[in-house]
Structure 1
Amino acid sequence: MSERTSVHTKQSSPAELGSRPIGRLLMQYSLPAIIASLATSLYNIVDSIFIGRGVGAMAIAGLAITVPLMNLIVAFCVLIAVGGATVSSIFLGQKNIGKATDVVNNVILFCLVHAIVIGSITLIWLDPILYFFGATDETIIHAREFMRVIALGTPVSYVFIGLNNLMRATGYPRKAMISALLSVAVNVVAAPLFIFVFGWGIAGAAWATILGQFSAFIWVLAHFLSKKSFVHFDPHRSFCSVSLLKRMYSIGMSPFLMNCCACLVVVFINKALLESAGEYGNLAVGAYGIVNRTTMFFVMIVFGVTQGMQPILGYNYGAGDWTRVSATLRHGVIIGTAISAVGCALTELMPDLISRLFTIDDTMVDIARRGFRIYFICFPVVGGQIVIQNYFQSIGKPRLSIFLSLTRQLIFLLPLLWLLSSRYGVDGVWGSMAASDLLSALLACATVLVMNRKIQKQIQFPAKLNAKSN
């Protein structure tokens, strides 16, 4: 039976979000998101392997320099994409299909506006930005080639990401998974062709990324242009709603700040590594790129879980069902912690095997091995912390989500980075990341235990009033 049929005959989407068992719903919504996130993570790793093997060790370092800029570009996209997805889920829980449709129109418009502004700024001031992020004369050539193409493709990237989040939030998790898989499949096929056959170097990897996203963009656009979709584009509905924009911004502010913090943190980490590693500074930055790519592989899987949780949490919070909200959170924390624990085990047991997938440079492998061993020691707690942070975002509590995001990536990490790197060098850089993960996880657990008591009373009080009136 098709997703469309299930929506109207069995009410499995989105009405099922308030009735089916939580475990089955998480499987239904999270598994496609996990598969899509896993495919995207694998692509990022494979792409880095192609660059490292096809262009060289300095290209890996150059790619690592682009990470903070990529985080910043993505930040302005998720401000709309994640905010729009959460707002649409809450509207669906309130049975307000018209407002959910307005979200689609506004997400398309504001994704395009953000893309044009951010893409233009990136292209105009690209070299100064890259030098600020830690580029050297040896690495900026590769970083510049890669980012020029990515900046040109921002309109396609933004609309694809925005609509794909909406597709999942409005009851089509499998179609959202297919769009992500389509992007990755095209990407993985095109990257080696552009790099090795056409000889385009690191720019070829960037063109492959944009080509893959364009293919998926056509897929998601066709979905929302079809009137068969439960929530679809409607030219007669609102296109520029200030109230909707404010609400999307307030909810999307958490992932926005998370990506901005990630950008800032990577800048400080790159600079700390360049100073601490001396003549091997560029190789240390490249080693961090390997560790970071591997970290994101497992983090993206956890994000897949949170993406699957988001429509379930948003719908049931909007419907006032605290029992289902708390059960969804509990399941998510357990799954997220299990994923990050697996990541810890694999990286501690086989750091050299992972590093040599990316590079044949022995010095870079040695630095990366030490990084894996120190940083991943506290990694099991990361999964639960990410789930809790996204939980607050999904129920429309952006301030709490922002607070937890800032503690993990800014408030704890930067002081620890300064303190430990000045005393222990490169080992201190890795140690500061591990310590900040542990501290932020403890804070997240304490926050959710305290705040859930207040949220439970807020969500159940209207339900009691409705029961009395009936």
Structure 2
Amino acid sequence: MDKSTEMGEANVARLMLKYFIPAFIGVFVNALYNIVDRIFIGQGVGALALSGISVIFPVMLIMMAFGMLIGIGAGVLVSINMGRRDINKAEHVLGNSFLLMIVVSGLISLIGFSIKGPMLRSFGATADTIGYANDYLNIILVGVIFQVVGFSLNNVIRSEGNAKIAMYSMLLSAGTNIILDPIFIFVFDLGVKGAAYATVISMIVLFAWVLLHFRSNRSVVKIRPQYFRLDSNIIKEILLIGMAPFFMQMANSVVQGLLNTKLIKFGGDLAVGAMGIVNSVITLIIMSIVAINMASQPIIGFNYGANEPRRVKDTLRIAMIAATIISIGAFTFVESIPDIIVRFFNNSDPELLKLGRQGLRLALLALPIVGFQVVVGNFFQSVGKAKIATLLTLLRQVVVLIPLLFLLPQYIGLTGIWISMPIADSVSAIVVAFFITREWKRL
């Protein structure tokens, strides 16, 4: 059974499982290697170095935002056009997106170097941590093109139905980083620079792998030079669909920068390190849910394009149930062993342990209701309803969370920062439930 027939006719539950397993392995390992950076730095360099790297997190989110803007937008269009049996249009989309990735990557690097100092300070770098942050960022900015192209094209690989190959991409990249991290940090004694070198080399490996895929017989759609001329209509479609995850990541970057500055004010540099630990845990959990989205997106996009609403609803139902199970399980696990989790990152600083424990216990209070929200946002994105997906994204990150971060810490200090997150999640869940109930009736 070829990929198009499979997505249109195979049992939805079995198809979801088939796509989920490689997606989960890939994204989990991919998320893990970013966390391994923090573990090696926290244990091998120190708690302040961990805080310095945590300052870089908003910058990494910005880079990822542009990768998602192009990669997810192109991926959705590719799967929808495959559903319409229009491979020529799908390849046209791929060619335009590839050229767009290169242009955008160059701009990010140039702008990043030109505003590096003010940017780091605005994201919470202090005199004690800016040296670590600057050393890491100088190297990462050189590798932006490899990250954006590698991440974006790997999403298209998944959207064409090649879930296992997309998994191998992430395993290859993550494995490279995990192997090189301890060598550069401990053996060569390069500190945070070693972690950055390991990350960029792993991005180069991913970049080479995905390009080889689209020139091979394994790909359903090909990168063809005749489509390297930018088509304004296709670019507009890509950007409109990718706008929701883009805004999500950009808003997340702004929020992380604001969080860092508030954490320094009410808890000091080590509170930023604690936030880095909280973010690492949240990333692992959310990426597990994102794997469900990766499994469902090509099925939803294809069947929406093929006008098969029953299969779209079946896929969405399974995705929401699975995401909720993961959220509840992760919440129970984290709330039971916060101290053990913190000690993975640094086992020598009692203040970091105290702050990390408090952050994990309070920031994740609404985790059980987060899973279905992530899935619903992906659904609206997968069917090309970018405005709704963007609205739902910005509601949590901007409309609710930012005012809470300005208001609550003034009255209850550091605790107010931590509990702002579950309050924003709860308000967002109510609105998301309203939109998906309405859309369910329309399908």
Q: Distance in 2 between matches of 1:338 and 1:79?
A: 28
For 2:339, give the aligned amino acid. D
Q: Is 1:399 aligned with 2:387?
A: yes
Q: Distance in 1 between matches of 2:362 and 2:8?
A: 43
**Aligned position for 1:140:** 130
Tell which structure's C-alpha radius of gyration is larger. 1
Assess if the C-alpha contact under 8 Å between 1:93 and 1:319 holds in 2: yes
SS for the counterpart of 2:409 is helix
TM-aligned CA deviation for residue 15 of structure 1: 2.3
Of residues 280, 289, 314, the one that matches 1:293 is 280
**1:37-48 superposed matches below 5 A:** 37-48=27-38
C-alpha RMSD of the superposition: 1.1
For 1:284, give the aligned amino acid. A
SS for the counterpart of 1:223 is helix
**Aligned position for 1:356:** 343
How many residue pairs match? The answer is 442
**Aligned position for 2:168:** 178
**1:448-467 superposed matches below 5 A:** 448-454=436-442, 456=443
Assess if the C-alpha contact under 8 Å between 2:63 and 2:148 holds in 1: no
Q: Is 1:57 aligned with 2:47?
A: yes
For 1:35, give the aligned amino acid. I
Assess if the C-alpha contact under 8 Å between 1:153 and 1:210 holds in 2: yes
TM-aligned CA deviation for residue 235 of structure 1: 2.1
Q: Distance in 1 between matches of 2:417 and 2:319?
A: 30
Q: Is 1:111 aligned with 2:106?
A: no
For 1:350, give the aligned amino acid. I
Structure 2 portions without partners, runs of 5+: none
Q: Distance in 1 between matches of 2:229 and 2:130?
A: 40
**Aligned position for 1:417:** 405
Which consecutive aligned stretches of 4+ in structure 1 deviate over 4 angstroms post-superposition? none
SS for the counterpart of 1:14 is helix
Q: Distance in 2 between matches of 1:302 and 1:411?
A: 23
For 2:387, give the aligned amino acid. R
Q: Distance in 1 between matches of 2:219 and 2:342?
A: 44
Q: Distance in 1 between matches of 2:66 and 2:34?
A: 20
Assess if the C-alpha contact under 8 Å between 1:149 and 1:207 holds in 2: yes
**Aligned position for 2:120:** 130
**1:21-100 superposed matches below 5 A:** 21-100=11-90
**Aligned position for 2:414:** 426
TM-score scaled by length of structure 1: 0.92
Q: Is 1:375 aligned with 2:363?
A: yes
**Aligned position for 2:428:** 440
TM-aligned CA deviation for residue 228 of structure 1: 4.9
Q: Distance in 2 between matches of 1:238 and 1:142?
A: 39
After superposition, give the CA deviation of every residue in 1:26-75 in whole Å (9 maximum; x if it has no partner). 11112211111110122122221101111111111011111111111211
Q: Distance in 1 between matches of 2:377 and 2:46?
A: 37
Assess if the C-alpha contact under 8 Å between 2:99 and 2:228 holds in 1: no
TM-aligned CA deviation for residue 158 of structure 1: 1.2
For 2:426, give the aligned amino acid. L
Q: Distance in 1 between matches of 2:74 and 2:307?
A: 20
For 2:324, give the aligned amino acid. T
Q: Distance in 2 between matches of 1:148 and 1:33?
A: 31
**Aligned position for 2:320:** 333
Assess if the C-alpha contact under 8 Å between 2:240 and 2:386 holds in 1: yes
SS for the counterpart of 2:226 is coil
Of residues 211, 220, 224, the one that matches 2:201 is 211
After superposition, give the CA deviation of every residue in 1:275-295 in whole Å (9 maximum; x if it has no partner). 112xxx100111011011111
For 1:413, give the aligned amino acid. L
Q: Distance in 2 between matches of 1:349 and 1:237?
A: 53
Assess if the C-alpha contact under 8 Å between 1:31 and 1:305 holds in 2: no
Assess if the C-alpha contact under 8 Å between 1:102 and 1:239 holds in 2: no
TM-aligned CA deviation for residue 233 of structure 1: 1.4
TM-aligned CA deviation for residue 410 of structure 1: 1.1
